[in-house]
Amino acid sequence: MTDPARPAVEVSGLCISVELPGGSSRPIVEDISFAIPKGEVLALIGESGSGKTTIALAMMGYSRFGGHISADCIRVGDMRIDQMDAAGLRRLRGSRVAYIAQSAAAAFNPSRTIIAQVIEPLTVHGLASPAAARQRAIDLFRELALPWPETIGDRYPHQVSGGQLQRLMAAMALITGPELVILDEPTTALDVTTQVEVLNVFKSALAKSGATAIYVSHDLAVVAQMADRIVVLKDGRIAEQGEAAAVLHQPQSDYAKTLLAASQPVERAAGPSRADSVLSVEAVHAGYGRIREGRAAMPVIADVSFELGKGQSLGVIGESGSGKSTLARVIAGLLPASAGTVRLGGETLAAGLAERSKEQLRRVQIVFQNADTALNPAQTVFDTLARPLAFYHGITGAAASDRVARLLETIQLDPALARRRTAELSGGQKQRVNLARALAAEPDVLLCDEVTSALDTVVGAAILELIDGLRRDLGIATVFISHDLSMVRAFCDEMLVLYAGQAVEMCAKEAFPGSAHHPYTDLLVASVPELDSAWLASRGGQPGPAMPEAQVTGELCRFLPRCPLVITGTCDRLPPPLITAPGQRVLCHRHGKAEPSDQEHLVTGASR
Amino acid sequence: MRWAASLPLSGRIGLALVVFWLLVAIAGPMIAPYPVGRFVDQEVFSPLTGQFWLGSDYLGRDVLSRLIWGARYTVMLAAGAAALAVLAGTSVALFAAIRGGWIDEFISRAMDTLISIPSKIFSLVLVAAFGSSLPLLLLIAALIYIPGNYRIARALAVNLAEMDFVAVARARGEGALHIAWREILPNMIHPLLADMGLRFVFVVLLLSGLSFLGLGVQPPYADLGSLVRENISGLAQGSSAILSPALAIASLTVGANLLIDALKPGGGH
Ligand SMILES: Nc1ncnc2c1ncn2[C@@H]1O[C@H](COP(=O)(O)OP(=O)(O)OP(=O)(O)O)[C@@H](O)[C@H]1O
Ligand code: SF4
Ligand SMILES: [Mg+2]
């Protein structure tokens, strides 16, 4: 009955509109048509608000905010989604069309075991007996490369890591053998190193199940690994669509070109070399809870040191929870260090805010990650920017209006926005105001904590460009905190790699290519997806962690449980030495030894 | 006015009732047909007539005039007490939230102790100890509702104090007063107003209860609760002298409640 040439999924003339209070309606997406051959993966990419998720959900006949779906045809296999009634749609969801959301943590019920929830789609639709369903789940766990496939299902959601939970959610989606799987930004919340593992298993599991898939993402490099076809969305319309390789390598539309350019930041020239030091951090230890004898109750950062000159930029990189934000809070004085010193242009800064002078506070400004919470929603843009002007410089009245207007100009915003409340701005505008507030103080040091992670690629690239220009023009020393290695490599003169609060490597931009790195740095470099679609397959055989989930405390190398190059007998007995080379400092037993081949070292290590 | 139109029907009814009673409380003395204490009728408990719109009470006084004055006492006392309770409760809550640590702990435990005392009994004890006067009633009612407001305000303030924009203000070197007043408080206004409305209703009921027991507003003054009490003998004959103050209490509290419910986030759309 089915024609083999007929695509498995077909959408034509899809429009979704929401009703406005006045009775009129506003289209969110318009005139969307695409087709997916059986077993292929179609990617929907575009910035936030471009309608990616809206389209993906329409494939299940579902629309958020009470939107109205109209289409000439939405077909999955032999089902006409656009002609189904509510009961039919309910039967189809979770059985023949499955959905994997961005946050697995939100999709699981924390009070039930994982396996009970994974097999639920089968038992609810009466498709299998509980025992058979359980066996099927365990097979899937194995296929998704989960550790302890037999028993991991008996755990509760909080007892597994974020990457594992994401894979478990994939198991829940795949268990009914659906015809269409929708993956909505499934790796966005994960660290790069975890993302690679998850992408890898998703790809093979999808191939094995033979399901057709829609992959929603804003990250071109991720899409390059997963997709056979790409649909580029802009403002609810299709800007471009075609074979993945064609869209990635010969984009036709302007928007696709911009998106591509933004995802590959161009390397900047280094800042002034070794100018007089503005900020110096020496052997800082910090953590949360009560401080006793120079140790916090919950230590996070151990022995971090660096120095930063006028107009220079330092990138701090590491995975979530490695202590990047904690470091910024210590420098800003929000979190008193338990040991070590922070110096600002020769003056030693007190650990706590209360003991720092107003002038010292002015000279160090912090820009928080999330502009939604960093701006007071009850204040206008003008209030927000005028306060530091009045507080630090005593500028009020007409002079303040002038300065606010100029600040808005500097950050490329319309001065008319000054009267708006900050809650009424878009994400990108908020982040600019957030930045302008720090600039209003005329700081010497700017601490930028993941300033672009909540923004779209194109908007984020513009903000980075802006900060980069400011530090060159005004000579502001900047600390960029990020989990995005390519961004740090492009914008920073120096890079500090944090792993579990340890500064495992410090490397100057010039020294980065060509020199040997800390094994964790290598892992990070290897985990950044490239636009080349063969990249994921080519790095498939990465050595896995040696001792997953172990925790190292004390003086030993904290990367030990995950290190593929561990020297048994040395790494697990002695604290790692700090090896210094021109433009580089590495905390590792392996480093600086006369480069024997890795194999040899592993063997000598093991034979001891 | 656009704001009023955006309310659901129940909210608009509530708003109308509240505005009505506020107007009565403010402009009442000017529109009251007779002086409040004057005996104007030969009969007692006479029904509604052209001369006495709401009839007369157990001493032959004009019920409408007494109701207007009674509403004035009730509304003003309750509004004053609610405002005072919110002012004090919120100030202490902001102080506790910003200081944190053992200060916060100490104040919160003290408030918990206060809140655990039944309010009626507490007020009875206080009235018994200090006698009943208008300023004292106001203070007692305020004192009783401070802990409730404190709890809500503190929960709001603690959440807000964790926000990044407060961290930014602290890193800028701002003092506690600026942080409380300019950064935190403006984000609490809406829930605080709703809470004040709720406290207002509680105080109306508390004062009416106290007055009904003869411990509230003392003659010759009368609030709505005292009006109900003094005319209790008219209950059997269904006199308007007892029905109208009872209806007044009901419509005032129900109106305020409807309005508050409509103001809750999500309720207004
Ligand atoms: N207020 C706090 N109290 C106790 N522990 C905390 C607190 N804030 C952070 N931590 C812990 O400190 C560690 C480092 O957190 P930090 O926020 O510095 O990480 P990060 O590198 O900025 O991560 P991300 O990339 O997710 O922002 C984490 O283990 C975290 O759970
Ligand atoms: S010190 Fe040893 S365990 Fe740590 S990173 Fe180096 S080789 Fe690996
Ligand atoms: Mg962080």
Question: Is B1 in CB contact (< 8 Å) with chain A?
Answer: no
Which ligand 2 atom minimizes the distance to the CA of A564?
8
Taking residues A111-126, what's their average pLDDT? Answer: 88
Q: Do residues A495 and A539 both lie within one domain?
A: no
Strand order in the sheet with A180-184: A97-100, A180-184, A212-217, A41-45, A229-234, A237-243
Taking residues A395-414, what's their average pLDDT? Answer: 92
pLDDT tens-digit readout, A538-577: 776 554 444 444 555 667 888 888 888 888 888 888 888 8
Minimal Cα–Cα distance from A289 to chain B, Å? 12
- Tokens linked to A596: 């024997």
Identify the pLDDT of residue B178: 94
Helices (H) and strands (E) in chain A, counts: 22, 23
Residue A272 lies in a domain: no
Type of residue at B5? A
Taking residues A457-475, what's their average pLDDT? Answer: 87
Strand ranges inside A525-594, DSSP E = 578-581, 584-587
Taking residues A28-33, what's their average pLDDT? Answer: 89
Q: Do residues A460 and A553 both lie within one domain?
A: no
For residue A104, the enclosing domain spans 9-263
d(CA A591, CA A580) in angstroms, rounded, equals: 9
Give backbone dihedrals phi and psi of A12, rounded to 5 degrees, phi first.
-140, 140
- A vs B, Cβ pairs < 8 A, gives 48
Give chain A's length.
Answer: 608
End-to-end C-alpha distance for chain B, whole angstroms: 15
Rg (CA), chain A: 26
Taking residues B124-151, what's their average pLDDT? Answer: 90
**What are the DSSP calls for A60-79, one per residue?**
TT--GGGPEEE-SEEEETTE
pLDDT mean across residues, chain B: 87
β-pairing, A73-76 vs A79-80, is: antiparallel
Q: Which of A200-209, A422-431, B162-171, B212-221 holds the top average pLDDT?
A: B162-171
pLDDT band with cut points at 50, 70 and 90 for residue A364? very high
Residue B187 with chain A: CB contacts under 8 Å: 376-378
Q: Do residues A446 and A506 both lie within one domain?
A: yes
d(CA A391, CA A408) in angstroms, rounded, equals: 19
Q: Do residues A421 and A492 both lie within one domain?
A: yes
Nearest CA in chain A to B172: A361
Identify the pLDDT of residue A33: 92
Report the 10 Å Cβ neighbour count for B137: 27
Identify the pLDDT of residue B62: 87
Residue A140 lies in a domain: yes
Q: Do residues A295 and A240 both lie within one domain?
A: no
Residue A169 lies in a domain: yes
Question: Is B183 in CB contact (< 8 Å) with chain A?
Answer: yes
Q: Do residues A284 and A417 both lie within one domain?
A: yes
Whether the pLDDT of residue A413 is over 80: the answer is: yes
Residue A56 lies in a domain: yes
End-of-domain residue from the set A263, A290, A322 = A263
Paired strand residues for A301? A286
* CB-CB under 8 Å, B173 with A356: yes
Identify the pLDDT of residue A476: 93
**Is B22 exposed, middle or buried, given 0-12, 13-18 or 19+ CB atoms closer than 10 A?**
middle
Whether the pLDDT of residue A341 is over 90: the answer is: yes
Identify the pLDDT of residue B100: 86
Asked if A583 and A274 touch (Cβ cutoff 8 Å), the reply is no
Identify the pLDDT of residue B52: 78
d(CA A528, CA B81) in angstroms, rounded, equals: 63
Identify the pLDDT of residue A546: 40
Q: Do residues A121 and A242 both lie within one domain?
A: yes
Residue A518 lies in a domain: no
Paired strand residues for B61? B39
Identify the pLDDT of residue A532: 78
pLDDT band with cut points at 50, 70 and 90 for residue A115? very high
Separation of A200 CA from ligand 2 center, angstroms?
Answer: 26
In this structure, what DSSP letter does residue A46 have?
Answer: -
- Which among B163, B170, B189 is the nearest to A334, CB-wise? B170
pLDDT band with cut points at 50, 70 and 90 for residue A375? very high
Q: Do residues A110 and A50 both lie within one domain?
A: yes
Asked if A433 and A422 touch (Cβ cutoff 8 Å), the reply is yes
Paired strand residues for A26? A18
Domain holding A56: CATH number? 3.40.50.300
pLDDT band with cut points at 50, 70 and 90 for residue A601? very low
pTM confidence score: 0.82
pLDDT tens-digit readout, A238-278: 999 999 889 988 889 998 888 888 887 777 776 666 668 89
Type of residue at B242? I
Q: Write down all domains in chain B, each with its CATH number in brackets.
A: 9-262 (1.10.3720.10)
pLDDT tens-digit readout, B83-115: 999 999 999 999 999 988 899 999 999 999 988
Residue A271 lies in a domain: no
Paired strand residues for A496? A316, A506
Q: Do residues A448 and A561 both lie within one domain?
A: no
For residue A567, the surrounding DSSP H or E stretch is none
d(CA A467, CA A140) in angstroms, rounded, equals: 46
Residue A520 lies in a domain: no
CA atoms lying within 13 Å on the CB side of residue B24: 22
- Tokens linked to A310: 């006028």
Identify the pLDDT of residue A608: 32
pLDDT band with cut points at 50, 70 and 90 for residue B19? very high
End-of-domain residue from the set A448, A481, A513 = A513
Report the 10 Å Cβ neighbour count for B175: 11
Tell me the torsion sign for CA atoms A363, A367, A372, A373: negative
Question: Is B109 in CB contact (< 8 Å) with chain A?
Answer: no
Find tokens 């102790």 and name the residue: B113
Whether the pLDDT of residue A83 is over 70: the answer is: yes
Question: Is A390 in CB contact (< 8 Å) with chain B?
Answer: no
Q: What whole-number percentage of chain A has pLDDT above 70? A: 92
Q: What is the ipTM of this complex?
A: 0.80
Whether the pLDDT of residue B268 is over 50: the answer is: no
Q: Do residues A59 and A97 both lie within one domain?
A: yes
* CB-CB under 8 Å, B172 with A334: no
Report the 10 Å Cβ neighbour count for A207: 12
* CB-CB under 8 Å, A377 with B172: no
Asked if B208 and B177 touch (Cβ cutoff 8 Å), the reply is no
- Tokens linked to A409: 């100009």
pLDDT tens-digit readout, A142-192: 888 888 888 888 988 888 877 888 889 888 888 988 999 999 888 877 888
Among the residue ranges A149-158, A331-340, A385-394, B107-116, the one predicted with the least confidence is: A149-158
Q: Do residues A357 and A423 both lie within one domain?
A: yes
Whether the pLDDT of residue B248 is over 60: the answer is: yes
pLDDT band with cut points at 50, 70 and 90 for residue A319? confident
B197 contacts: CB under 8 Å, gap ≥ 6: B82, B256, B257, B259, B260, B263
Asked if B46 and B238 touch (Cβ cutoff 8 Å), the reply is no
Asked if B55 and B45 touch (Cβ cutoff 8 Å), the reply is yes
End-of-domain residue from the set A486, A513, A540 = A513
Residue A398 lies in a domain: yes
Asked if A271 and A478 touch (Cβ cutoff 8 Å), the reply is no
A368 or B267, which is more confident = A368
A517 or B132, which is more confident = A517
> How many domains does chain A divide into?
3
Q: Do residues A439 and A544 both lie within one domain?
A: no
Give chain B's length.
Answer: 269
d(CA A374, CA B109) in angstroms, rounded, equals: 31
Asked if A512 and A202 touch (Cβ cutoff 8 Å), the reply is no
